[in-house]
Structure 1
Amino acid sequence: MATVRVETVLSVPDHAVWEAVADVGAVHERLLPGRVAAVRMDGDTRVLTMPDGWEVRELIVAVDHDQRRLAYAVVEGQRLPLTYHHASFQVFPEPGGSRLVWTTDVLPHPMAAAVEARVSRGIEEIKQVLEAAQGVGNSSSGRSFM
């Protein structure tokens, strides 16, 4: 299994970043507006609707407030030919802000580069959105993710 790990430092307090990440039903509002059009929860499954109508189903595996870690697995609707996709976000305090780490385990191995390109763009978009909500940074982004 290939592991992709990307991270970014934000000028946003760790508690504020964690609040946004842990709000699993509000990805479209708090983390990736424009990239995710809508979210609905079906028990422990989060259904993301993309702007073109495509849906992705994710099983929310864990929301650990003590560790500030969210884990999820994509179970249906991936656009990439993956046979396995499990990911987590973790938030750490950092002087003057926080560090957001996005770790993704994928199969097959050769798909790691494509996944890394997407999550790298995604984490930068998340940073822009969260910093703009705090009044810092530039929140403009028109890139496509999933």
Structure 2
Amino acid sequence: MLTKQPITKKLNAPAEKAWEAISRIGRLDIWFPIIATCSVEGDGVGACRRMTTSDGGEITDIIQEIDHATRRLAYLRVKSPFPVTCYQGTVEVFDSFDSLAVIVWTIEFESDPKDSASVAELVKEAISAGLDGMERDLQSDFALSKK
């Protein structure tokens, strides 16, 4: 069963700064409480992002798109501890009317119908917590850069 789960959040950080952080691919271990480690092999499209979860699960993403003009990043999760057969993520950064970042993080995944609701809820909670962590990280970086 194909499920699409969008998560949207306005950050108290400039859109350009948010895109700069997202386009660097890493720091998920700083932003996401569920992620214990994050390393990146390569650069740009084709880069491999490897993570471990706090309970020892392994995650591997392949970066499929980094579009600086539209501020859009897409990745394919090729290894996951979650009950999915396909997992595609897209992160987009938009400018709000006050130049702050609006992040739209959309996950599309395939799973057994009995698992789809629980996976969608897990994704929503994890990404929401990650966006909160990103906001804290960007605010600290932004505050330091303004001194």
What TM-score bracket applies, with the shorter chain setting the length? 0.7 to 0.9
Letter in 2 for 1:99: V
Aligned residues: CA RMSD: 2.4
The one-character-per-residue Cα deviations of 1:26-64 (angstroms, maximum 9, x if unpaired) are 4445x4488342313155222124456543110101001
C-alpha separation in 2, matches of 1:33 and 1:23: 19
Runs of 5+ unmatched residues, structure 1: 137-146
Letter in 1 for 2:107: T
Runs of 5+ unmatched residues, structure 2: none
The one-character-per-residue Cα deviations of 1:67-89 (angstroms, maximum 9, x if unpaired) are 1011001101x221111110111
Letter in 2 for 1:16: K
Q: Is the 8 A contact 1:32 1:129 kept in 2?
A: no
Provide TM-score, normalisation by structure 2: 0.77
Larger Rg: 2
State the aligned residue count. Answer: 134
The answer to whether structure 1 residue 48 and structure 2 residue 47 are counterparts is: no
Selected match of 2:103 from 83, 88, 100? 100
Q: Which residue of 2 aligns with 1:119?
A: 127
Q: Which residue of 1 aligns with 2:19?
A: 18
Displacement of 1:102 after TM fit?
0.6
Displacement of 1:96 after TM fit?
4.6
Provide TM-score, normalisation by structure 1: 0.78
